[in-house]
Amino acid sequence: AQSVTQLDSHVSVSEGTPVLLRCNYSSSYSPSLFWYVQHPNKGLQLLLKYTSAATLVKGINGFEAEFKKSETSFHLTKPSAHMSDAAEYFCVAPTGGFKTIFGAGTRLFVKA
Partner 1 sequence: GAVVSQHPSWVICKSGTSVKIECRSLDFQATTMFWYRQFPKQSLMLMATSNEGSKATYEQGVEKDKFLINHASLTLSTLTVTSAHPEDSSFYICSARDRVLGTAIEAFFGQGTRLTVV
Q: Which residues contact 49 (CB under 8 A, 6 or more apart)?
A: 32, 33, 34, 35, 57, 59
> Does 41 sit near partner 1 (CB under 8 A)?
yes
d(CA 10, CA 53): 30
DSSP 76: E
Closest distance of CB 57 from partner 1, Å: 13
> Does 89 sit near partner 1 (CB under 8 A)?
no
Q: Which is nearer to partner 1, 50 or 81 (CB)?
A: 50
Q: Which residues bind partner 1 (CB under 8 A)?
A: 32, 34, 36, 41-46, 49, 51, 90, 92, 94, 98-100, 102-105, 107
